[in-house]
Homo-oligomer: A and B are copies of this chain.
Amino acid sequence: MRNIDTLYKLFLEELAKRKLQQEPQELYAPINYIMELGGKRLRPILLLMTYELFKDDIEQAMPLAYAIETFHNFSLVHDDIMDEATLRRGKPTVHHKFDTNTGILSGDVMLIYVYQYLLELESNKNITQIIKTFNQVAIEVCEGQQMDMNFETRIDVQLSEYIEMIGKKTAVLLAGAIKMGALAADASNEDAQHAYEFGKNVGIAFQLQDDLLDSFGDPKKFGKKVGGDIIQNKKTYLVLKALELASPEEGKSLLQILSNTKIPESEKVDTVKSIFTKLEIPTHTKLAKEKYQKLALQHLDAINVPESRKILVKKLAEEMLGRET
């Protein structure tokens, strides 16, 4: 069993080997740029780890790991255009460094390359099921992004819709990566489905934790600016739970503060956080996160391989979900 650091290193070696050198370079340079921009490479590492639950020759799954990371980065390139984001991992976004047309077109070709990489497993007997799993996930990622954009202009978003949105936009890609790893290693359909549900619930729990950290994280440990979601009036789990628990007047006043762009940012963050604290939103969010985390572990437990093989996957999930506020 290879640990996280080893898998991370192996993946970066793969990335260096697969750098695109084709012409026209105007199309391919932005792809190399975003792929080399860094990140934790969680999806490919979890895919490889899941493969290793069942089989040892993980190099067989490397094209899938690369495919998933390419898809993830494709979605970042196009999402950053839609969100008009200028920075990604502290560096200029693709459309900002190059231009929007390049961002669109290089993103498109990345999505096609994903299928090239998937097809490197053409002799795997589960190849069509692997591609179908990927397709379903990729479609849901787009649906989740559309839901997220729709929510921006809605004031009646329900918590259940929010969970559906983050499930699609964030969690299914993790789930799909993990399931693809299982399928590639010839896991039973039942085990592959447990792997999927493990990943999906980890993904939802991770996003709920991220929502909480965005408002209540330790500025020294949290990578982004604390309070960013509040400043941007994002309808996170915290806001939606607060609206559920608040009296009609409290809810109205919360929405008013969130949409107010005239008060100083720090005052806005403090006021909203005090409402969250009064309504015990941090505790509610932690409880929700723990619910999904528990579900995730139940599915991991249900996978029919020796417990000793699951140690590293469990450890990675715990690391992902163990960040303190």
Point out residues on A near B: beta carbons under 8 Å: 22-24, 26-27, 78, 81-82, 101, 104-105, 107-109, 111-113, 115-116, 119, 122, 127-128, 131-132, 135, 138-139, 142-143, 145-147, 149-150
Name the B residues within 8 Å of A23 (CB-CB): 143
Contact assessment for B115 and A135 in the assembled complex, using a CB-CB cutoff below 8 Å: yes
- Whether B139 contacts A24 by the Cβ 8 Å rule is no
List 24 A–B pairs whose Cβ atoms lie within 8 Å, in order of A's numbering: A24-B147, A27-B142, A27-B146, A81-B104, A82-B104, A104-B104, A105-B145, A105-B146, A107-B108, A108-B111, A109-B139, A109-B143, A111-B111, A112-B135, A112-B138, A113-B139, A115-B115, A116-B132, A116-B139, A119-B128, A119-B131, A119-B132, A119-B135, A122-B128
- Asked if B116 and A101 make an inter-chain contact with CB atoms under 8 angstroms apart, the answer reads no
Residues of chain B with a CB closer than 8 A to A107's CB:
108
Q: Which residues of B contact A22 (CB under 8 A)?
A: 143
Q: How far is the CA of A67 from the CA of B139 in the complex (A)?
A: 15
Contact check: which of B81, B105, B139, B149 meets A112 at CB < 8 Å?
A: B139
In the complex, A109 Cα to B116 Cα: how many Å?
17
Nearest-CB residue, chain B, relative to A74:
B108
Complex CA distance for A57 and B138, rounded to whole angstroms: 32
**Chain B nearest CB, measured from A189 CB (Å):** 16
Partner of A111, one of B81, B112, B122, B146: B112
Q: Are A105 and B142 in contact (CB under 8 A)?
A: yes
In Å, the complex CA distance between A261 and B50 comes to 61
Which B residues are in CB contact (< 8 Å) with A108?
A: 78, 107-108, 111, 142
Q: Which chain B residues lie closer than 8 Å to A122 at the CB level?
A: 128
Could you say which residues of chain B place their CB within 8 Å of the CB of A82? 101, 104-105
Q: Which 8 A-B pairs have the closest CB atoms?
A: A27-B146, A109-B142, A82-B101, A122-B128, A112-B138, A24-B146, A116-B135, A112-B139
